[in-house]
Amino acid sequence: MAGHSKWANIQHRKGRQDAARSKLFSKLSKEITVAAKMGDPDPDKNPRLRLAVKEAKSNSVPKDVIDRAIKKSQAGDGDEYEEIRYEGYGPNGVAVIVETMTDNRNRTASTVRSTFSKNGGNLGETGSVGFMFERKGEVVYPDTVGDADTVFEAAIEAGAEDVESSDEGHIIWCADTDLNDVSNALEAALGETESTKLVWKPSTTTELGLEDMQKLMKLVDALEDDDDVQRVTTNFEASDEVMAQL
């Protein structure tokens, strides 16, 4: 029985991972379709589409899925999506930004509000927490690409603003409007990136203990489980001990 139970747990975990992977692919495909529809279907002529395709590839989205998403944008009979950002508070006043892409504004607003309420948060007005973040371009490289000095020099040469290097890799920050040019220059100098995307970078953070972190993760998981939600950003800060217990 123990062996069977273990196998059942493995299968259950794999099922959850597969479901999460499928949901991620769907959200990345939606971003590609919208980007292609808003501009040129050629990534070389459409910076937003190029970044969307790059992010999809970094998450192992198959080429045929990417091509299908671009073709869907040109079909003329697809859903019309609009981008809406929601802002609110999680446990202990932590700031939460929820970026959505929806074909039904009322449905999405109702679901996001309900998710906040059910998970100990509060949905705020637009701008209620946005001032705690800066819109930035983020380029990530693994630590194998080079040491901190090498990456820093390449980043500054490419027009980046700052670099954070650690044993886990390098995070390069730039102005949001410069992301396409900076990532192109970095790829020419250092090779293909691990991740290239626009993010909300916290300018102030909120320290959370274990109990509040568990509540926050429950809220974030519930929000990200919504098909209309593209990404969730928070400004939490937690100690290594708390993260290890999670």
Return the number of other C-beta atoms located less than 10 Å from residue 37's C-beta: 18
Q: Tens digits of per-residue pLDDT, 149-197?
A: 999 999 999 999 999 998 889 999 999 999 999 999 999 999 989 888 8
The pLDDT of residue 6: 42
Place of tokens 């217990």: 245
Tell me how far apart the alpha carbons of residues 135 and 148 are, in angstroms, rounded to a whole number: 24
User: Exposed, middle or buried: residue 120 (CB in 10 Å: 0-12, 13-18, 19+)?
Assistant: middle
Residues 155, 171 contacting (CB under 8 angstroms): no
Instruction: Considering only CA atoms, give the Rg of the chain.
Output: 19
| H/E run at residue 227 | none
Residue 174 pairs with which residues in a beta bridge?
137
Ordered structural domains, the chain, with CATH: 2-73 (1.10.10.200), 82-131+204-245 (3.30.70.980), 133-202 (3.30.70.980)
Residues 156, 189 contacting (CB under 8 angstroms): no
Q: Backbone phi, then psi, for 198, in 5-degree steps?
A: -85, 135
Q: Tens digits of per-residue pLDDT, 10-69?
A: 444 555 566 677 888 889 999 999 999 888 889 888 888 998 998 898 888 999 999 999
Q: Residue 8: is its pLDDT beyond 80?
A: no
Q: Tens digits of per-residue pLDDT, 98-134?
A: 999 999 999 999 999 999 999 999 999 989 999 999 9
Q: Residue 1: is its pLDDT beyond 60?
A: no
